[in-house]
């Protein structure tokens, strides 16, 4: 089946953290980002061009805060399998 998505105007004011924009069908299963970036991307008005000035001068050798230990995939590991209505 052919799917057509017509996108005439699309405006995003802010995306933070581990946010994503999906147009069309997609599946996200605890996606994570392991990159820290510093910089700014400015657009003034609806018809102005974007200007991105990014420079990664912040080096984070301690990757302990970038782990997958507490993600949604491992939240229920080790719990007993209870059927509906059991205690």
Average pLDDT, the chain: 68
Q: pLDDT tens across 7-39, in order?
A: 887 877 777 766 777 887 777 776 666 666 666
Distance CA 14, CA 33 (A): 17
Q: Is the pLDDT of residue 72 over 60?
A: no
Smallest CA-to-CA distance from 13 within 52, 37, 39, 42 is with: 42
């Amino acid at each position: 089946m052919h799917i057509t998505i017509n996108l005439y105007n699309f405006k995003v004011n802010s995306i933070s953290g581990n946010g994503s924009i999906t147009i069309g069908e997609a599946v996200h299963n605890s996606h994570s980002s392991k990159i820290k970036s510093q910089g700014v991307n400015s657009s003034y008005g609806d018809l102005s061009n974007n200007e991105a000035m990014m420079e990664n001068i912040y080096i984070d050798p301690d990757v302990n805060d970038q782990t997958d230990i507490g993600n949604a995939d491992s939240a229920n590991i080790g719990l007993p399998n209870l059927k509906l209505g059991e205690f």
